[in-house]
Chains A and B, each alone.
Chain A
């Protein structure tokens, strides 16, 4: 590929474009101020100041205190740290409750824990991907160490009732972790007075770089570090700080605050127009997820009788549209999406799923282009399919 300028990027739940302001905030720490924030000299202190500033910005975005912010390398590290910590600090408790639609970062960790003798329950979801709090209540008891639930789902965009779930966890003395990787920056979050003990976020989902994450740890929550070593992050996470990325994430948090209304208004309007347009122009569509409680940027739609990878490649070849799919062929594993399977979708539908996830960098003209080219692609692939022609 020669250039990315003609790309229509609608895969923002996978990763996002770096905001130019973020690059600007990072550059001094990749060039001039390369000091170690732990160094005693003023040169290192420049880096330390940048971290203080970023920590405050992120705390503001989350409605948290700066000392509740721990910088990590990614969302997965934050998830693992929180869940493993809860199991270590509450050794008598042998149960974990999570959902069937978590990201692999939580799901595969839970499977590993299960393999090592812990009891893990996976809350099922209904056909719209919703969990049932009554069911959750029945699965939490005094043996539960931690309940872990995503705030918003990466594939279908569902927003989960985390506050209520956290209260159920606390009723039995269990800790509560929220994987908020998809939620932060897209919906308002306020952790003050919330029932959330741990929260994970990832920089590259909100226009900061890859390789930087945050674990929010509510003050006084029992904690056992995952990476042990130096005294960085008040001894909660060893390893020399990724100063430039931390500075970038801080700037991204400020931008997310400034653009929150836009996510809820302009981005949502683009998503809704895309959804309505595709539903109207492509016969027999199936929109996945809970349309009453969904991220404003996410549209997951099944084009039945055809296969996702084919759709994605045609979208790219036709108009350089970058989207994603839950089909088996688009994953390295040749297994279709566990989220769409948990909804009870039949195989023929779920193989034809496409996820469009927008950001504030998308434009109305881009939505127009997607709406122009997609119906023709769907039609021509259906002409190829032995299953149906619509």
Chain B
């Protein structure tokens, strides 16, 4: 167990400024679901539109994440946006006395939430002079906060693999697979990439209803789905798979690469490979592992 200062424990056990602000001027949402932290920060300005009148938060996370978020709201209230924008994560740690080294990311998350809230405020109130600290644009912009996936990465997989849906992007990159808050953003990127692709090549998609396929066409479609979607998806995680046999609705698959030694290989087969084949070919398909 971690050693927390009395102040961290105080802010964890008695957090100040919990909750939402329905009439917030800026809302920032950040987090990393794998590590187990997420935070939503609400900031409301005073009449002068310069001073922070209210700040509230919601946090999913450990004691230091909750304490950092609560401390941040206390530090923000009463400061002008200009003053607040100069705060650093170290200020949060100092305010709390000290944070364990491994938990410093909790204070970083607090600052990221505030920066996100400022960006949001700028969008809501373009007339205000909001001091935006970091707004990464272009390729390096983090689209999915949960899994830290950049816009560049998403564009790359869409182009290379001819992806067309948000769900596919999630399967390839994990982006959108955590809180799901970036799905609209992913859709916008998809629209952008696909719009350009369409202009370049007039390729009409040929959606074939699986129920009308002949057996041969059906096997071909399974093979196609396997080669174009499933294997690239597994390869993205260092794995691979081989299509062994198709017998009626039963598809036999052998996992290879990292997948073969992966403790969650069965989950991969059932939840991902099978789901993909059901989506693309037929809802009746079951996937079994080759013995």
| Contact surface of A with B, Cβ cutoff 8 Å | 100-101, 114, 120-122, 124-126, 135, 138, 305-310, 312-314, 317, 327-330, 332, 334, 336, 338, 341-342, 344, 347-348, 351, 383-387
Contact = CB atoms under 8 A, between A and B. Distances in A.
A338 B263 CA distance: 9
Q: Which of B18, B63, B103, B265 has the most CB of A within 10 A?
A: B63
Interface in B1-57: 1-2, 9, 12-13, 15, 18-19, 29, 33-40
27 contacts: A100-B264, A122-B262, A305-B60, A307-B37, A307-B62, A308-B62, A309-B63, A310-B61, A310-B62, A314-B13, A327-B36, A328-B35, A328-B36, A329-B35, A329-B62, A332-B102, A338-B263, A341-B263, A341-B264, A342-B263, A344-B267, A347-B34, A351-B60, A384-B15, A385-B59, A385-B60, A386-B39
Given A327-B62, A386-B58, A386-B59, A351 B36 contact: yes
B232 interface: no
Nearest to A382: B60
Chain B facing A: main interface SS: mixed
B169 interface: no
Contact of B261 (A122, A135, A307, A336): A122
B125 interface: no
A328 B178 CA distance: 16
Interface in B96-122: 102-103
Contacts of A334: 35, 102
A387 B263 CA distance: 28
A384 B262 CA distance: 35
B221 interface: no
B66 interface: yes
A342 B61 CA distance: 22
A386 B35 CA distance: 16
Given A336-B36, A384-B66, A385-B60, A124 B266 contact: yes
B271 interface: yes
A344 B61 CA distance: 21
B17 to A, nearest CB: 11
Interface of B: 1-2, 9, 12-13, 15, 18-19, 29, 33-40, 58-63, 65-66, 102-103, 178-179, 261-267, 271, 289, 291
Given A307-B65, A341-B264, A347-B34, 10 more contacts: A307-B37, A307-B62, A310-B66, A328-B36, A341-B263, A344-B264, A351-B60, A384-B66, A385-B59, A387-B60
A313 B60 contact: no
Contacts of B264: 100, 124, 341-342, 344
A338 B261 CA distance: 14
Contacts of A351: 36, 60
Contacts of A126: 266
Contacts of B63: 309-310, 313
Contact of B18 (A121, A305, A317, A383): A383
A317 B61 CA distance: 17
A298 B32 CA distance: 30
